[in-house]
Structure 1
Amino acid sequence: MSCSARLLIQCADQPGIVAAVTRFLFEHAANVTHLDQHSTEMTGGRFYMRVEFQLPDLEPPDARLRAAFDAQVGQPFSMHWSMIDASVRKRMVIFASRTEHTLQELLWRQARGDLAVDIRAVISNHAETEEHARRFDVPFWHIPVTPETKAEAEAQALEVIGEETDLIVLARYMQILSPALVDRFPERIINIHHSFLPAFVGADPYRQAYERGVKLIGATAHYVTSELDQGPIIEQDVARVTHRDAVDDLRAMGRDIERRVLARAVHWHVEDRVIVSGHRTVVFR
């Protein structure tokens, strides 16, 4: 890792925030290696900040340092903040169905070292997905889902997820998670939506897009909330299409966009580059 700790901050915009944060880190012998900030009047004068820093001897941040920061900086500025040990890799579980391209992209990037995360399991409602997980030596769990067994299936999935999972990724998982499961992992479930939200709904969005003669197709990665496809958006991308592109062309381009968009969103989350503020995100790229 390029740093030993990361600090994420959001609060009301006011003078002295950067000075207070950097002074605190200096007084605790920390070396700031990267700092990014953003403030805006459009969201009620909010201030957002991400800091990467190293502590003496690369020691991870401990409870005493966090308590001191809260007392000296966090509380005086009424901050919502988190201090993360960057040397600890996040633990991720992937949900997938039959469509495998986004799953394969995540597995491949993690195997190459481009995604600094530990994939603890792949959970799928279709057994065919197992071959992709096994190819990368990732534990696989086949948990079928029907309307009658949905609650039981989620209970099984929760046993696999356990208490130590930091992130759940829905890699084209064609099932809707219950509000109870979503509420257990706030801002820790990322979904890839096969459209540029808001867009066409239903099982075959590319056919609908083709029939409507669209000139753009896209994909959206967002955090999952109990309101379907309405969570804070992390990343989006699009591609231009013309009247010469058939339905299969749109599907192929769509798969390519989905792979890139989901991989970027997961990468930014893993590196603690995303701050959620209401229905919006601030992404320090």
Structure 2
Amino acid sequence: MNIDYNEMSNQENKEFENRARLLVKCPDKPGIVSVLSSFLHNHDANIIESNQFSTDPENGTFFIRFEYHCDNLQQKAVEMEKDFEIIAEDYQMQYRFYYRNVRERSAIFVSKETHCLLELLWEWQNGDLETDIALVISNHETARPIVEALGIPFYYIPANKDIRKQVEEEQIRLIEEYKVDVLILARYMQILTPDFVSHFENRIINIHHSFLPAFIGAGPYERAFARGVKLIGATSHYVTNDLDEGPIIEQDVERVDHRDDAEKLKKIGRQIERRVLVKAVRWHLENRIIVEGNKTIVFH
């Protein structure tokens, strides 16, 4: 039986056509929650979920995430956003409305190892990732049969440091052609150039097979084994031009001991990588993350 995932996506979009999210960042001061709640109430919106955080109640920064339902939202959205501009100006707010009937389109980059890709595809097939996977790009052919079996376009683009400029030009062309919103590096073992990263600020999610900041760069499991660590982990973060030092979204660890050689550490590490990357991607797609400098506020 062939499953039409695009049709499933369209049905889900219709189901959530009256649901939206609002994320706000601004200087902290009394009355912000009241003002925002009143704004939604005055537009007949019902708050479904609300999470907030302040770095310092007196001189800090305030962050909040609302999810709400509003009948006839598609007809009212423009008016609501225009009315909100006045509030935003008064309170120096940085903000964004997200509409749940508009799903982000994602591109997955992968190399030889497919465990993270497989986990993402599984979660997507289950309907647990709010995204349309537009394409998969790889510098190896390994994942082609897996991806094409699901009707997802697969592009094999060989990559190395000598042809990096041409490779990234082709990747950017494809990303723009497919109207991609977020890039997921599912163990894509290539360094991205500053020019590439600048096109997609805070929209590239990486999985690093180490509990950063430990063992930055290549070969972390071998180095972890040589160091005799008792915990190994994985880190998902947004990509910046500082290698493996972008804002961290999620991390996890597992305990190991002297009986575990480098290969066993890798096996355990792959399990951690899968779950950490999926969590980070899910939270990004659910608009649960606000980037603040080189840190993230994640509303679970």
2:130 equivalent to 1:116: yes
2:293 maps to: 278
Q: Decide which of 176, 185, 188 is 1:170's aligned counterpart.
A: 185
Report the Cα distance in structure 1 between the residues aligned to 2:193 and 2:152, rounded to whole angstroms. Answer: 25
TM-score by length of 2: 0.91
Deviation of 1:29 (Å): 1.1
Question: Is the CA contact 2:185–2:206 (under 8 Å) kept in the aligned structure 1?
Answer: yes
TM-score by length of 1: 0.95
Deviation of 1:60 (Å): 6.6
Q: 2:131 is aligned with what amino acid?
A: V
Q: Deviations over 1:51-91 (max 9, x none)?
A: 001122343763332121011x1111101100111111110
Report the Cα distance in structure 2 between the residues aligned to 1:210 and 1:132, rounded to whole angstroms. Answer: 32
- Secondary structure of the residue that 1:158 maps to in structure 2? helix
Q: Decide which of 130, 133, 136 is 2:144's aligned counterpart.
A: 130
Greater shift after overlay, 227-236 or 142-151? 142-151
RMSD over equivalenced CA pairs, Å: 1.7
Question: Is the CA contact 2:28–2:58 (under 8 Å) kept in the aligned structure 1?
Answer: no
Question: Is the CA contact 1:61–1:85 (under 8 Å) kept in the aligned structure 2?
Answer: no
1:99 maps to: 113
Report the Cα distance in structure 2 between the residues aligned to 1:184 and 1:42, rounded to whole angstroms. Answer: 35
Q: Which runs of 5+ in 2 are unaligned?
A: 1-14
Report the Cα distance in structure 2 between the residues aligned to 1:177 and 1:54, rounded to whole angstroms. Answer: 39
Q: Decide which of 175, 190, 199 is 1:161's aligned counterpart.
A: 175
Matched length:
284
Q: Decide which of 90, 94, 101 is 1:80's aligned counterpart.
A: 94
Deviation of 1:221 (Å): 0.4
Q: Decide which of 230, 234, 250 is 2:245's aligned counterpart.
A: 230
Q: 1:4 is aligned with what amino acid?
A: R
Question: Is the CA contact 1:126–1:144 (under 8 Å) kept in the aligned structure 2?
Answer: yes
Report the Cα distance in structure 2 between the residues aligned to 1:30 and 1:59, rounded to whole angstroms. Answer: 13
1:267 maps to: 282
- Secondary structure of the residue that 2:142 maps to in structure 1? helix
Question: Is the CA contact 1:234–1:281 (under 8 Å) kept in the aligned structure 2?
Answer: yes
2:194 equivalent to 1:185: no
- Secondary structure of the residue that 2:29 maps to in structure 1? coil
Query: Percent identity over the alignment?
Result: 47
Greater shift after overlay, 56-65 or 76-85? 56-65
Question: Is the CA contact 2:184–2:204 (under 8 Å) kept in the aligned structure 1?
Answer: yes
When residues 125 and 60 of structure 1 are mapped into structure 2, their CA distance, relative to the original with a 3 A threshold, is farther
Q: 1:243 is aligned with what amino acid?
A: H
Q: Which runs of 5+ in 1 are unaligned?
A: none
Q: 2:126 is aligned with what amino acid?
A: R
2:65 equivalent to 1:50: yes
Q: Decide which of 205, 226, 239 is 1:211's aligned counterpart.
A: 226
When residues 61 and 192 of structure 1 are mapped into structure 2, their CA distance, relative to the original with a 3 A threshold, is farther
2:266 maps to: 251
- Secondary structure of the residue that 1:62 maps to in structure 2? helix
Question: Is the CA contact 1:134–1:140 (under 8 Å) kept in the aligned structure 2?
Answer: yes
2:79 equivalent to 1:64: yes
Q: Deviations over 1:159-209 (max 9, x none)?
A: 111162110001110111111111111111100011000111443211111
2:103 maps to: 89
2:257 equivalent to 1:242: yes
Moved over 6 A (4+): none
Report the Cα distance in structure 1 between the residues aligned to 2:134 and 2:75, rounded to whole angstroms. Answer: 23
